[in-house]
Amino acid sequence: MRHLLSAADLDRDGAVHVLDVAEQMAATQRREIKKLPTLRGRTVVNLFFEDSTRTRTSFEAAAKRLSADVINFSAKGSSVSKGESLKDTALTLEAMGADAVVVRHSASGAPHRLAHAGWSRSAVVNAGDGTHEHPTQALLDAYTMRRHLRAAGSGHALGRDLHGVRVVIVGDVLHSRVARSNVLLLHTLGAHVTLVAPPTLLPVGVGTWPCEVSHDLDAALTGGAPDAVMTLRVQAERMTTTGGGFFPSAREYSRRYGLDRRRAALLPEHAIVMHPGPMNRGLEISADAADSARSTIVEQVGNGVAVRMAVLYLLLAGGEPAAPTPGGDS
Ligand code: ASP
């Protein structure tokens, strides 16, 4: 693996390998001394053009636990706010000797450009690009599901993948990079996914995604016997350019698509409730569903560190970074 730009970069064996390495990483994090020498002398740059709490700190913790040097570069207060281009930023980071660049950007495709334009030799990890993809979120979600559903009582004799697992993903699919990456990865791992959203919050072409699509959450919960329900944040900040109008009111949205106590009670006993964060409590998820015993929301954050340690380890510990792609555009 040279870069991690999309969940589709991983085939079944590759994805399972990341999850297995993450399990080993998690085991090291239960020791008194959590730091491993694995990436000593390597530099990881967190290049965040969009706000983030969980993902940035998670990558920072992951890189530091592997003993890498970490440079945090956020667009606010940097030359980017003075109009510096992605290319110039990349060249600067290259000159600083970055071995890996973890990039979050509001433009879908920005990490792909960084990886393939020939501007740098760094490994590129997509930490969320626009409404496109967020592959490490999908990996940490798969890791969380595998961990829980392997436990007794789920009725699944899970091997190393998620074969036969049933997942409902509900909410603002249109603006969600988490949904797309999850559908791709869960499909690769053999799970069955149902997306639930109002028609206004589904992207064009969703019919070609490897999943089912529904507008009826109650039917998906009662008829589908899901093992996991993932609620997606209503991404109000991405709705402003179109003037909103995706649903009549917050109250109406919660009534039709919110996961509340009544709906959580429809789930099989072993089923887990997930959310990538940050949550709009009372909108897509009620406080009692978010804080219930079946919620894995806080655990997902912790699992994120182990999964990102695995990704950085697999990208960087395998050898020297390759030379820049010849003939890259200018
Ligand atoms: N934190 C996730 C992301 O950056 C989910 C969200 O923001 O709703 O995509």
pLDDT (tens digit per residue) in 27-80: 999 999 999 999 999 999 999 998 888 999 999 999 999 999 999 988 776 677
Phi, psi of 48 (to 5 degrees): -110, 110
Q: Write down how long the chain is.
A: 330
The 10s digit of each residue's pLDDT in 85-121 is 888 888 888 888 999 999 999 999 999 999 999 888 9
Residue whose Cα lies nearest atom 4 of ligand 1: it is 128
pLDDT band at 243 (very low <50, low <70, confident <90, very high): low
Say yes or no: CB of residue 233 within 6 Å of ligand 1: yes
CB of 178 sitting under 6 A from ligand 1 = yes
pLDDT above 50 for 325: no
Query: Which CATH number does 135-300 carry?
Result: 3.40.50.1370
Token pair of 94 as six digits: 């290259």
Q: Identify the CATH number of the domain defined by range 7-133+304-316.
A: 3.40.50.1370
Residue-level pLDDT at 323: 41
Average pLDDT over residues 165-182: 98
Which of residues 159 and 202 earns the better pLDDT score? Answer: 202
What is the mean pLDDT of the segment spanning 9-13?
Answer: 98
Distance 40 CA to ligand 1 centre (A): 30
- What's the rounded mean pLDDT across residues 225-239? 94
Would you list the domain boundaries of the chain?
7-133+304-316, 135-300
283 CA to centre of ligand 1 in angstroms? 15
Beta carbons within 10 angstroms of residue 188's beta carbon: 22
More confident residue, 84 or 132: 132
Q: Name the percent of the chain lying above pLDDT 70.
A: 92
Q: Check residue 53 and give its pLDDT.
A: 87
CA diameter of the chain? 58
Task: Look over the chain and give the mean of its residue pLDDT values, rounded to a whole number.
Answer: 91
SS3 string of the chain? CCCECCHHHCCHHHHHHHHHHHHHHHHHCCCCCCCCCCCCCCEEEEEECCCCCHHHHHHHHHHHHCCCEEEEEECCCCHHHHCCCHHHHHHHHHHCCCCEEEEEECCCCHHHHHHHCCCCCCEEEEEEECCCECHHHHHHHHHHHHHHHHCCCCCCCCCCCCCCCEEEEECCCCCCHHHHHHHHHHHHCCCEEEEECCHHHCCCCHHHCCCEEECCHHHHHHHHCCCEEEECCCCHHHCHHHCCCCCCCHHHHHHHHCECHHHHCCCCCCCEEECCCCCCECCCECHHHHCCCCECHHHHHHHHHHHHHHHHHHHHCCCCCCCCCCCCCC
Q: Probe ligand 1: pick from 106, 131, 134, 169, max atoms within 8 Å of CB?
A: 134
Rounded to an integer, the average pLDDT of 199-206 is 96
Beta bridge partners of 295: 273
Q: 177 CB under 6 A from ligand 1?
A: yes
Which residue has the least CA distance to atom 8 on ligand 1?
A: 233
What band does 152 get if pLDDT is binned at 50, 70 and 90? low
The answer to whether domain 7-133+304-316 and domain 135-300 are alike in fold is yes
Joined tokens for residue 60? 């920072």
Ligand 1 atom, smallest distance to 55 CA: 1
Q: How far apart are CA 291 and CA 137, in angstroms?
A: 20
Atom of ligand 1 nearest to the CA of 137: 2
Q: Please state the atom number of ligand 1 nearest to the C-alpha of residue 235.
A: 8
> Which comes out higher in pLDDT, residue 130 or 241?
130
With a 6 A CB cut-off, is 132 part of the ligand 1 pocket?
Answer: no
- Ligand 1 near 128 CB (within 6 A): yes
Residue type for position 312: L
pLDDT band at residue 204 using 50, 70 and 90 as cut-offs: very high
